[in-house]
Amino acid sequence: MKLGYTNVKQYKGGLPDWIRRRYPVIRTVNYPKVNIPLMYPEQVLKKIDEVVILDIGGEELKKIGSFTQGDVVHIPLDDLEEKYGVLPKDKQIVIVDVMGKQEEIAGRFLTSKGYKNLAAMAGGGRAWFMAVRINKKVEKEAGAKMSEKKE
């Protein structure tokens, strides 16, 4: 017994590639064209107490790691339209997905809702978790050197 669809294919390039190739698309929403600036993980780490990290990666990002620093709001991109109201407008919001590919969509949506101070995490969650690991290693090594000097 078969349930559901049996002949389903995935378009490898996704919707952005489909649009780039000028295939037909019916737009139901027209978000404003905005340039969301990039912030590198190291920059975000330096400003961790001043920003809100918006995790739009959902379960896929959780498989890579979890955010343990800063003010983090978890709203999967699919739920953003219903839940964006919990985000503050008085702090910079750094949008993060898994690979750094969907932040523009979230940024355009949030801009349409009046959010102005937005940034996208360069390299996405993968880059963030790598930077945090490197930063912890550097801090640990610096701490070890300091204790050696005291002796």
CA 143 to chain centre: 31
Q: What residue ranges do the domains of the chain occupy?
A: 31-150
Residue 144: what are its φ and ψ, rounded to 5°?
A: -65, -40
Q: Are 96 and 56 in contact (CB under 8 A)?
A: yes
- pTM for the full predicted model: 0.71
DSSP assignment of 23-50, as one string?
A: -----S--PPP--PPEE-HHHHHHTTTT
Q: How many CB atoms lie within 10 A of CB 74?
A: 16
DSSP 55: E
Domain made up of 31-150: CATH architecture: 3-Layer(aba) Sandwich (3.40)
Tokens of 136: 């912890």
Going residue by residue through the chain, which has 151 residues, state the pLDDT in tens, using 9 for 90 and above. Answer: 566 777 778 878 777 788 888 888 887 777 778 889 999 999 998 999 999 999 998 777 777 777 778 899 999 988 999 999 999 999 999 999 888 778 888 999 999 999 999 999 998 888 888 887 777 665 555 555 545 555 5
Give the Cα separation of 104 and 85 in Å (integer): 18
- Which residue from 50, 35, 15 is spatially nearest to 120, judged by alpha carbons? 35
Residue 42 class from Cβ within 10 Å (0-12 exposed, 13-18 middle, 19+ buried)? middle
Residue with tokens 């101070």: 117
